[in-house]
Structure 1
Amino acid sequence: MNENLVKAFEALNQEKGVSIEIIKEALEAALVSAYKKHYGTSQNVEIVLDETKGEYAVYQLKEVVEEVTDSQLEISLAEAKEMNRAYEPGDIIRFEVTPKQFGRIAAQTAKQVITQRLREAERNVIYNEYIEYEGELLNGTVERIDSRFVYVNIGKIEAVMSVRDQMPGEEYHIHDRIKVYVSKVEDSMRGPQIFVSRTNPGLIKRLFEQEVPEIYEGIVEIVSIAREAGDRSKLAVTAHDANVDPVGTCVGPRGARVQQIVNELHGENIDIVQWDKDPAIFIKNALNPAEVLAVTFDEHEERVCTVVVPDNQLSLAIGRRGQNVRLAAKLTDYKIDIQPLSESDVVIEEMSADTSEEISPFFEALADFDFGEEDQEEPKDFFETIQDKTDDELEE
């Protein structure tokens, strides 16, 4: 056992990164358990292992007491003093009890422990490596498929993609190369398990980071994503540089950037809208391509709003099977109720207010106009005066 044990220690330490001290402690504990089980003893025993030589020794431990009640665990003070007059009650004396025939049991136990530690080490290495990829995009190869999962090779391990993480209408074949989003990494009893997805909204975000340098660099930010995988997604973006158009940046020249992502997702429609700190404007943008006339918020219920649209835009605002308003609600985190103009008083009130503001300069100019200056050689035209004053005030 000596030479093989030393080699096993070195291999675990150098190749798998397992500390020799950890292996030693585990093996000593396993040898103690094997010794007690084989010899049917309740003694307190200790096994000391020399990892450099691969040798071991078994010791029985006894506590020094005034009066012995269990000879397996205790030794009298008188007996202890015969061995060494320095012993006092409470001291522990070690007696070597290494059995000659224990070598075979020790070797078998060592093999089991080292094999177990080897598996644990490999599991830990894989887990520690892939936990860093959680929430990231990886390239993988489809290895096999069954009724529950698509198994994707992503390097040192086979990841699993469940049915709900598979894109509707997307077919997978052995040896297909696909991009997957690492949604979860678990360290289970059977070893590390990596769960990947093609439907997670995070996939959209990572794909845009790859295609749009401004997102990766932090100039443009994806604020929120709403997705119905395989059909349609909405992204809300904003720019941290006033000179950058976030929507145009993500779309790219002639739509080249967004088209790359659409192709990767096999035709999934992607709407990119401008995020705004004003929730009314953000909701209006989120309902694109429908025209929004007004957004009002419920005073009694938080994050609930009513959106008014022209009658001919109602079906567009709601979308096919309610998809447009549903995605807008997810994107903005508001419950949105769509109403046509013909059934709402909100827009009429707002339009009246807007109209009064526009015509107020007319009445002010009318009040200021002097109709009594008969000696004026070239009286200024009344309507020209009105127009000048109206234009001035509107500019202000």
Structure 2
Amino acid sequence: MNGEFFEALSLLEAERGLSADYLLEKIRNAIVIAVKKDYDVEDENVLVEIDPKTGKFNVTLLKLVVEEVEDPRVEISLSDAQAKRRTTKLGDMFNIPLKTKDFGRIAAQTAKHVIRQGLKEAERSQMYAEMQSKAHEIITAVIHSIDPVKGTVTVELSKGGTAVLPRNEQVPGEQLREGQHIKVYVVDVIEGDRGPRMMISRTHPGLVKRMFEMEVPEIFDGTVEVKAISREAGARTKMAVWSKDENVDPVGACIGPRGQRVAKIVDELGGEKIDIVRWSEDPAAFISAALSPANVVGVEILDGESKACRVTVPDHQLSLAIGNKGQNARLCARLTGYNIDIRPESGYYGEEPSSPAPEKESETAGEETVELSEQTDAAQTEE
């Protein structure tokens, strides 16, 4: 290899962001593979040294100095070794320099193949690192195509490449069209056979959390903390917040002057309702607040290993507490982590259906809770 070769490596590093050290290591590996094939030895018997400044490299075969040779591939007799270097002793590793041309065509082809593979691997690693930096962030993508059968949406990413928005990660009832710019939440980035793949969502609670982090300075600087979110995308979100500074109202900070901050997010989410509740260490207070807009008469935390409670509400607010198709109670249960049994104050349900304790559901797209703290407690406001 000459200086021009190393200049080319430097150019690759500058133009494509591929590390020259990484590529040199691949070249070393290629030469080692070639020597192993030609001399039938193992890795530990081959030493390759490359000077990145001069472009010169040395290839050495390492043999163990022994009294009597049993395996000439990896051993050399003491007498033969001392004939070349008098200071050699038994047990030394004797270096035998090899000529580059001895590798022949096989070595060159092997080096070429490994370098080509190395370039592909480096590009994939670079792409994965770039994508991984976007994990748990909001990105803007352009809709490229919509599958009329599966309902999946293929979007174009800002720096090239595509991602797929599955139907179950789309907001129910939302109308999407080709060419439309949409905001998506990057749930994860995974390595695949064809390269890294970005998992995106429009229904994940993290989308709402990141929107508030970007819109509310007090959340961005850490003064206000989002403790938990439960969401049914397109319909309603409940979010628990807490302030490290007692002089800062966490709920008010999220709502903003004249409700401007939360209104902007509601508009971005297509009118999705957002309940913001204040976090507190008292589970009963948190559950009471999380059931808003319904008023709560009392909360009884039940004994037992499973987190469960019985909530009493005014008779005329039973339907409000339960919500449309149980939505309010369901979101409250996910937000607090408690199974909730809602009962009317009189104990008589009348025409109102009983509200069974909704079990805490696993996290799934569109109906999941982001657990941001082991503790859950709050007071609430609603938008």
Match of 1:175 among 158, 176, 179: 179
- The equivalent residue for 1:67 is 68
Closer, same or farther: CA 56–275 of 1 in aligned 2, 3 Å: closer
Q: Distance in 2 between matches of 1:194 and 1:48?
A: 39
Contact 2:297–2:313 (CA<8 Å) still a contact in 1?
A: yes
- The equivalent residue for 1:161 is 165
Write the mapping of 1:284-363 to structure 2, written as runs, cut at 5 A. Answer: 284-343=288-347
Write the mapping of 1:42-121 to structure 2, written as runs, cut at 5 A. Answer: 42=41, 44-56=45-57, 58-98=59-99, 100=101, 102-121=103-122
- The equivalent residue for 1:33 is 33
Asked if 1:123 is matched to 2:124, the reply is yes
- The equivalent residue for 1:392 is none
Closer, same or farther: CA 48–263 of 1 in aligned 2, 3 Å: same
Contact 1:247–1:272 (CA<8 Å) still a contact in 2?
A: yes
Q: What's the CA shift for 1:40?
A: 7.0
- The equivalent residue for 1:234 is 238
Where do 4+ consecutive residues of structure 1 move more than 6 Å?
none
Q: What's the CA shift for 1:280?
A: 1.8
Closer, same or farther: CA 193–228 of 1 in aligned 2, 3 Å: same
Match of 2:259 among 248, 255, 258: 255
1:143 alignment partner AA: H
Closer, same or farther: CA 76–137 of 1 in aligned 2, 3 Å: same
Q: Distance in 2 between matches of 1:65 and 1:122?
A: 46
Q: What's the CA shift for 1:139?
A: 2.1
Closer, same or farther: CA 286–54 of 1 in aligned 2, 3 Å: same
Closer, same or farther: CA 56–319 of 1 in aligned 2, 3 Å: same
- The equivalent residue for 1:199 is 203
Contact 2:309–2:340 (CA<8 Å) still a contact in 1?
A: yes
Closer, same or farther: CA 93–164 of 1 in aligned 2, 3 Å: same
Q: Which region of structure 1 is more displaced relative to structure 2, 26-35 or 306-315?
A: 26-35
Give TM-score scaled by structure 2 length: 0.78
Q: What's the CA shift for 1:262?
A: 1.6
Q: Unaligned 5+ residue runs, structure 1? A: 345-396
Contact 2:225–2:241 (CA<8 Å) still a contact in 1?
A: yes
Closer, same or farther: CA 19–252 of 1 in aligned 2, 3 Å: closer
Match of 1:209 among 206, 213, 225: 213
Q: Which region of structure 1 is more displaced relative to structure 2, 152-161 or 314-323?
A: 152-161
- The equivalent residue for 1:8 is 8
- The equivalent residue for 2:356 is none
Contact 2:141–2:157 (CA<8 Å) still a contact in 1?
A: yes
Give TM-score scaled by structure 1 length: 0.76
Q: Distance in 2 between matches of 1:304 and 1:26?
A: 59
Tell me the secondary structure at the aligned position of residue 133 of structure 2.
helix
Q: Which region of structure 1 is more displaced relative to structure 2, 108-117 or 330-339?
A: 108-117
Q: What's the CA shift for 1:322?
A: 0.8
Q: Distance in 2 between matches of 1:241 and 1:92?
A: 67
Q: Distance in 2 between matches of 1:247 and 1:3?
A: 65
Asked if 1:280 is matched to 2:279, the reply is no
- After superposition, what is the alpha-carbon deviation per residue over 1:97-120, rounded to whole angstroms, capped at 9, x for unaligned? 437474544443333333333233
Q: What's the CA shift for 1:240?
A: 4.2
1:155 alignment partner AA: K
Q: Unaligned 5+ residue runs, structure 2? A: 349-383
Tell me the secondary structure at the aligned position of residue 343 of structure 1.
coil
Q: Distance in 2 between matches of 1:54 and 1:316?
A: 77
- After superposition, what is the alpha-carbon deviation per residue over 1:307-353, rounded to whole angstroms, capped at 9, x for unaligned? 11222221211111111100011111111101112227xxxxxxxxx
Q: Which has the higher helix share?
A: 1
Tell me the secondary structure at the aligned position of residue 71 of structure 1.
coil
Q: Distance in 1 between matches of 2:111 and 2:4?
A: 10
State the identity %.
48
Tell me the secondary structure at the aligned position of residue 337 of structure 1.
strand
Q: Which region of structure 1 is more displaced relative to structure 2, 181-190 or 226-235?
A: 181-190
Contact 2:315–2:345 (CA<8 Å) still a contact in 1?
A: yes
Closer, same or farther: CA 308–69 of 1 in aligned 2, 3 Å: same
Contact 2:141–2:155 (CA<8 Å) still a contact in 1?
A: no
Q: Distance in 1 between matches of 2:60 and 2:281?
A: 73
Contact 2:23–2:119 (CA<8 Å) still a contact in 1?
A: no
Closer, same or farther: CA 90–23 of 1 in aligned 2, 3 Å: farther
Contact 2:39–2:73 (CA<8 Å) still a contact in 1?
A: no
Closer, same or farther: CA 101–242 of 1 in aligned 2, 3 Å: closer
- The equivalent residue for 2:364 is none
Contact 1:306–1:336 (CA<8 Å) still a contact in 2?
A: yes
**Count of aligned positions:** 343
Q: What's the CA shift for 1:173?
A: 3.0
Q: What's the CA shift for 1:219?
A: 4.0
- After superposition, what is the alpha-carbon deviation per residue over 1:65-97, rounded to whole angstroms, capped at 9, x for unaligned? 111112222222222222232221122333344
Closer, same or farther: CA 311–2 of 1 in aligned 2, 3 Å: same
Q: Distance in 2 between matches of 1:322 and 1:8?
A: 65
